Amino acid sequence: MKSLILVALAIHAISAVDWIPGRGAQVAFVEVEAEHANHNGQLIGNDRHYGQLSSEASQRRAVTLNAGGQYVEFTMPIEANSVVVRYSIPDTGSGKDHEIRDADIDLYVGGAKLKPLTFTSKYSHWYGSYPFNNNPGSGNAHHFYDSVRTLLDKTYPKGTKVKLQVSDTGKSPTFTIDLADFELIGAPIAQPSGSLSVTDAAYGADPTGKTDSSKAFQKAVDDGATQKKTVYIPQGTYMIYEHVIVDGVTLTGAGPWYSVLGGRHPTDRSKTCGVYGKYVEQGGSKNVHLSNFAIIGDIRERVDEIQTNGIGGALTDTVIDNLWLQHVKVGAWLDGKMDNLVIKNCRIEDTTADGVNFHKGVTNSIVQNTFLRNTGDDGLAMWAEQYPNVNNKFINNTMGIPVLANNIAIYGGKDIEVSDNLVYDTISNGGGIHIANRYPGVQGPTGVLGHHKVYRNTMLRAGNADYNWNFGIGSIWFSGQNEEIKNATIEVKDCDIIDASYSAIMYIEGKTNGVTFDNLSINGTGTFALQLQAGGENVIKHCIIRENCK
């Protein structure tokens, strides 16, 4: 039986939605949408149908340039010396690695022509069914976008014009520009006093990226742990073919724009750059601090059986701060049992799978003030397979445009908090926030238990079509697929659902009980405010529904 208690629910009709401060990550960059810039290209959108170029664009709109002389011209919203551009160019038609499309687009800043930006199809365009492939003949084209970053030649004042202009279409018939991020990057962080450097003569890491520095990094962090000294990564680009295993050590760089780790073995593609704790079977790692560097990998596909993640292993009593993780399979996939991990102030983009996943027995851990965009699966996830996840938090994060699945997903676990996050533009087979007894091993002691707090989140254009079910997913949705959710108190309080693609709230696949919606604001849906495809005992009170809700 479906049971829903409605208390003090009001329906209003208004057109304006005010921005809600205090939610999402506080970031140093300012984002400008291409459709809001000056341009002479073709505006695409507003489309939320899976497999369309505009449906994967931020705010579901972008600008396509398809002739020489066409441009998008941004105005710098702040003083800046860097830019990140999110873009799409077409695949080659074969999709094979040796037939990657690379194409330059001219970059003008303040009227002067700088070094062009190179766009590539290397990390985009997937086909077929999960876990997808690079063969256009498989159909189901998706995952269209990638991003590129560059430091400018100097700092430019607010109001400077930044133009991306096509000189010719010989290398690519079209260039689609989604957005640009502008940021003022500070000077490189100096080497801490008394620390070791990976480029010291004893280690010999190569900051030019011409030779493999795996052994140099490993010896440096091993010595750092033994000598109880910080290990520093000077400015440079380092090619690393193996995981760097860290335990009881601090590894820090000159900043994520200056100290860049990357690389992938040319013949054994399972070997790739990553910083890992020891696995539990090896004793796990603890007391690790990672900060102020980037891992920009070369992962172009999803193979779940191999470890091609940016951060991995078991990391107890660990802090990960100010890392940039891009072009890896998962930004950070943590396998417990492990306790007291903090991930904060990070940027995770363009992954082939999740952004972050707390997997099996992760406890007392948090992701906070982290920005994620264009992940290949759930943006932020907790999966309590085999062992319970307990007392974990996702707080003040921004997660946008996951190509597959949910912005935030909680698969089982006890006493979990998801608060003050901004999630937006879900693409397919997921919603903004998902709480469920789903996925292998999530039931009984690992299921949804205890007190779950879902406070002060904003879900913007969240939820989308599930091409397996052939119907839409709610902005926030619950599932008791493995077993009924019946031993938890789930509070959804002071949240805002804005312009939901389908329903605002959805129940499916078995009963979910114990949910209370309090002071929820629903401002526009594609279908329904409530989509009840499963039963349960739940309460809605003091909620407001506005515009286009059934």
CATH number of the domain to which 69 belongs: 2.60.120.260
Q: Is residue 191 part of a domain?
A: no
Measuring CA to CA, which residue among 150, 6, 147, 165 is closest to residue 74?
165
Query: What average pLDDT does this structure show over 500-517?
Result: 96
pLDDT-derived band at 528, boundaries 50, 70, 90:
very high
Greater confidence, 262 or 96? Answer: 262
- What integer pLDDT is reported at residue 3 of this predicted model? 55
The verdict on residue 424 lying in a domain is yes
Same domain, 175 and 245: no
- What average pLDDT does the segment 421-450 reach? 98
Which of 7-11, 22-26, 140-144 has the least mean pLDDT?
Answer: 7-11
What pLDDT is attached to residue 96?
62
pLDDT tens column, 317-360: 999 999 999 999 999 999 999 999 999 999 999 999 999 999 99
Give 225-247 pLDDT, tens digit per residue: 999 999 999 999 999 999 999 99
Domain boundary among 472, 487, 502: 487
Q: What is the CATH number of the domain that holds 310?
A: 2.160.20.10
Helix (H) or strand (E) holding 217: helix 214-227
What is the pLDDT averaged over residues 511-536?
Answer: 94
- Sequence length of the chain is 550
Structural tokens at position 159:
């109001």
Number of domains forming the structure of the chain: 2
pTM confidence score: 0.96
Q: Which of 183, 207, 227 is the last residue of a domain?
A: 183
| Residue 100: inside a domain | yes
Cis check: omega of the bond before 46, within 30 degrees of 0: yes
320, 341 contact by CB (below 8 A): yes
State whether 305 and 454 are in the same domain: yes
Instruction: Give residue 270's domain range.
Output: 240-487
Q: Which residues pair with 31 in a beta bridge?
A: 181
Same domain for 128 and 264, yes or no, is no
Same domain, residue pair 130 and 246: no
The answer on 178 and 315 residing in a single domain is no
Confidence band (pLDDT; 50, 70, 90) for 12?
A: very low
pLDDT-derived band at 546 (thresholds 50, 70, 90) equals confident
Tell whether 203 is covered by a domain: no
Among 328, 357, 188, smallest CA distance to 261 is for 328
CA atoms within 13 A on the CB side of 431: 29
Task: Determine, yes or no, domain membership for 7.
Answer: no
Calculate what percentage of the chain has a pLDDT beyond 90. 89
The Cα–Cα gap between 233 and 214 comes to 13
The answer to whether residue 249 is domain-embedded is yes
**170-205 tens-digit pLDDT:** 999 999 999 999 999 999 999 999 999 999 999 999
d(CA 434, CA 444): 19
User: Residue 15 — very low, low, confident or very high, per pLDDT cuts 50/70/90?
Assistant: very low
Q: What is the mean pLDDT of the chain?
A: 94
Closest CA to 294 of 250, 332, 264, 324: 324
- Which 3-state string (H, E, C) describes 356-376? EEEECCEECCEEECCEEECCC
Answer yes or no: is pLDDT of 447 > 70: yes
Same domain, 283 and 426: yes
Statement to judge: residues 247 and 176 lie in one domain: no
- List, for residues 259-287, the tens digit of each pLDDT value: 999 999 999 988 999 999 999 999 999 99
Please check whether residue 441 lies inside any domain of the structure.
yes
- Flag whether 392 is in a domain: yes
Q: What is the mean pLDDT of residues 414-424?
A: 98
φ, ψ of residue 137 in degrees (nearest 5):
-65, -15
pLDDT, tens digit, for every residue of 382-405? 999 999 999 999 999 999 999 999
